[in-house]
Amino acid sequence: MLSNYTAKYTKISSGYMGQLVEWPEVITEGKTLEDCRKMLKDALHEIILAYRQQNKEIPVGQALLEQVPVEI
């Protein structure tokens, strides 16, 4: 089964931090955005394996994100 998750990337002093919106426990950092993407995908695979081994329910993906403009 193929599922899609929503990644949020934040620029930090050491590079980028990546986190899944639907699964906040999946979080990682990388020096570049590409590194962070790869590491986040690896972290997702690992946590899926761990959840399956523990017979835990895997969160469903498909969050909808949008930016809300506001004048400040």
Share of the chain above pLDDT 70, in %: 99
Q: Which backbone phi and psi does 27 adopt, to 5 degrees?
A: -145, 145
How many other CB atoms sit within 10 Å of the CB of residue 48?
Answer: 15
Token digits of residue 57: 């329910």
Q: Which residues does 3 contact at the CB level (< 8 Å), separation at least 6?
A: 60, 61, 62
- Segment 23-45 mean pLDDT: 96
Is the pLDDT at 67 greater than 80? The verdict is no
pLDDT of residue 65: 75
Q: Which residues does 27 contact at the CB level (< 8 Å), separation at least 6?
A: 17, 18, 19, 20, 40, 43
